[in-house]
Copies of this chain bind each other. A is one copy, B any other.
Amino acid sequence: MLHLNIDCIFAPVMSNTRFATAIHILTLLTVSPGEYLSSEWIASSIGINPVIVRKELSMLHEAKLVFTRKGKDGGSTLNKPATEIFLADIYIAVKNSEVLGKKNQCPNPLCPIGKRINEKLENLFSETDRVVINFLKDKTLAEFASQFH
């Protein structure tokens, strides 16, 4: 079963879509148990470039969430049951920044606030991240994917 390519009619306003991409990939794998889906097929469902999918799959492989087979009839499949994959795993696998963003790089060390702001922000930022991860750690990929039945 192949998807047709659909041209996007919306204005190109996009920033980081890595979580959306990752969970889309994993949802497709979940609803196709035992099948090896190709990056091109996955890409046509998401509406992005197959190379981006392969890069994301590479991350998900590092996180041991998927298994990928090379060569003819190759593709990817889940590396464990969807009931054992948590949204926090996905979040951690793809995240490259904290929920509250980045710190300024050069606060003034001569200012009492500037001198210590980043250490305080580090605490706040990582606490906030922990809250998010805690929320996502009880939600399974299986649950998420079951919404599409």
Contact = CB atoms under 8 A, between A and B. Distances in A.
Identical chains bound together, number? 2
Task: Report the interface size class on chain A.
Answer: 35 or more
Given A112-B148, A121-B23, A131-B131, A11 B16 contact: yes
A16 to B, nearest CB: 5
Nearest to A135: B131
The 10 residue pairs across chains A and B that have the minimum distance between CB atoms: A8-B106, A47-B106, A14-B101, A12-B19, A45-B111, A13-B97, A45-B114, A131-B135, A20-B103, A19-B100
Interface string A97-129: 111111111111111111011001100100110
Nearest to A41: B111
